Structure 1
Amino acid sequence: MDTKQPINKVALLDIANNIMKEHDDYLAGMEATDVSEKSGVLIFKGEYFLDEQGLPTPKTTAVFNVFKGLAHILSQQYTLE
Structure 2
Amino acid sequence: MYMALLGRNVDAAFYDAPNVSYFSQTRGEGRTKVVGPLYEGQQYGIVFHKGSQWVEPVNEALAEMQDDGTYDEIYEKWFGETPDDE
Give the TM-score normalised by structure 1: 0.24
- Structure having the larger proportion of residues in helix: 2
- Structure having the larger proportion of residues in strand: 1
Instruction: Select the structure with the greater relative contact order (CA < 8 A; seq sep ≥ 6).
Output: 1
Larger Rg: 2
Give the TM-score normalised by structure 2: 0.24
